Amino acid sequence: MNYFSSNFKLGILGGGQLGKMLLYSTRKFDIYTAVLEASDEAPCKIACNEFHLGDLMNFDAVYNFGKQVDVLTIEIENVNVDALEALEKEGVNVYPSSKTLRIIQNKGKQKLFYTDNNIPTAPFSRFAYTSEIEESINNGGLQLPFVWKSAQFGYDGQGVKIVKSLDDLKGLPNVECIAENLVPFKNELAVIVARNPSGETKTYPVVEMEFHPEANQVEYVICPARIDAALARKAEDIALKTSKAFNHVGLLAVEMFQTQNDDILVNEVAPRPHNSGHQTIEASYTSQFEQHIRAILDLPLGRTGSKVGGVMVNLVGAEGHSGQVVYQNIENIMTMDGVTPHIYGKKQTRPFRKMGHVTIVNEDVNEARRVAEEVKKSIKVISE
C-alpha cells in the first residue's frame, strides 16, 4: 500500500490536541487526512486535509465518515462503537478495534478484563447505580475509604472521587460505577506500548507521573521514571502482557500504580496517544504520534529510546479565569534552555482545561525536573 503522496485516506475520529499532534506526523509524511469532530473550533481544523463536522457518538455520523476513508483511528475513546463494528464488517480497517474500545469505554468491563486475564489491578466492586453503594457499606460489603469511578465518560479527573465518608457520596451522579480499593502507592507510572497488525511490538521507557492534588490531573511527566531497573522491567512486562491480552493495534498507554511494597497494579489504559507520552516529541527518537501512525498503517515501528531526559508540564487554565486565553510570561520560559511550549489552539480557557504543554529536555532528568518547576511557576494560562 502506498500511503505517501497518494490517494490513500486516513480518518481520525476526534479533533482535539491529540489529533492535532498526530497531524504533525501525517503532514511530515504527506499522508492525506480527514477528521470528524463536533466542534467547529477544534485544534485539528487547521492541519487536516478534510474537516467534517459531526457527533462522535452518533451512529450515522461515524459510519458515513468511516465509509470515506481507508483506515480509521481515534484520538478519543468516546465514539460510537456500533458504527465502528459495522465498518469493520464492511472491510474498513479500524484501529483500535471496536472490540478493544467496547472493553475500554466502560471502567467496570475494563477492570473485569484485567481480572480475567490475570493482570494485577486493585480490588473493586461494580454497581449499576451510585445509590447502591451506601447499602453495601452498611451491610459490610464495602469498606471506606475507596475510589469512586464513573463507569463511563470519565476523563482528566472528571468522574473520579475519593470517598472517605458517606458524606462524600452526596452530589455524585447516580450512574453505573465502580468502587475501587484505595491503593497507598509510592508512584504513578505509565508505559506506552506500540503494536502493528504484523505483531511487531515496542515499549517506550517507563515514565513517572506527578499529579495535581486538587484537580486530579497530571502536572509533570518524568522520563525516565526515577525507579530501579528491575522495577522498570516489571512495569514493562505488565504493560506488554496487557497489550497482548487486548491484541490491540496502535498505541496502548498503560497507567500503573507502584505500591509501597513495589508491586505493580494496572490502573487503566488508553488505546491512543496519551498525556504520558507528550515529552516523546522532543525527547525520543520517535514521537508517540509518529509511532501511532506507523503502527496503524503496519509500517516498521520507530526506535523508542530517549535521546535525552524529558519532563512534560501540562498547561491548564488558571482558576478564576474563563474566556479568551492569554499565555502570560510565555516569552520568559522560552529563554530557558531546552524548553519547548506546545499550544493546542483552544481560544477559550477555563479552570483546569488543558490548553497546552511544555517539554523540558536535559541530559540529567533531575535538572529537567528542576527547570519544569520554574516553568510551572512562571507561565500562567489566564483570560483577557
One-letter identity of residue 45:
K
H or E, element range at 225: none
By the 8 A CB rule, do 225 and 236 touch?
Answer: no
Distance CA 148, CA 35 (A): 34
Residue 48, helix vs strand vs coil: coil
378: CB partners within 8 A, 6+ apart: 329, 332, 333
Measured CA to CA in angstroms, residue 371 lies from 133, 142, 375 at distances of 44, 44, 6
Strands 264-270 and 124-127: unpaired
Residue 219 assigned to a binding site = no
Enter the C-alpha cell of residue 241: 502482557
Q: Are strands 185-195 and 250-259 parallel, antiparallel or unpaired?
A: antiparallel
Per-residue cell: 363:
541530559
Three-point CA angle 325, 327, 330, nearest 5°:
165
Phi, psi of 35 (to 5 degrees): -120, 135
Given the DSSP bridges, would you call strands 124-127 and 177-181 parallel, antiparallel or unpaired? antiparallel
Residues contacting 310, CB < 8 A, separation 6+ = 222, 223, 279, 280, 282, 283, 284, 359, 360, 361, 365, 368
**Where does 38-88 show beta strands of DSSP type E?**
50-53, 71-74
Of the candidates 365, 270, 379, which has an alpha carbon nearest to the alpha carbon of residue 314?
A: 379
Q: Is residue 267 marked as binding?
A: yes
182 in a labelled binding site? yes
CB 309 within 8 A of CB 363: yes
Longest dimension (CA), the chain: 64
The b-or-e profile of 42-73 (16+ CB within 10 A means b, else e) is bbbbebbeebeeeebebeebbbebbeebbbbb
Q: Which three cell numbers stand for residue 151?
A: 463507569
268 is in an annotated binding site: yes
- Residue 181 assigned to a binding site: yes
Is 180 annotated as contributing to ligand binding? Answer: yes
Asked if residue 241 belongs to a known ligand binding site, the reply is no
Binding residues for ATP, by number, are 107, 149, 180-183, 188, 267-268
Annotated binding site: 107, 149, 180-183, 188, 267-268
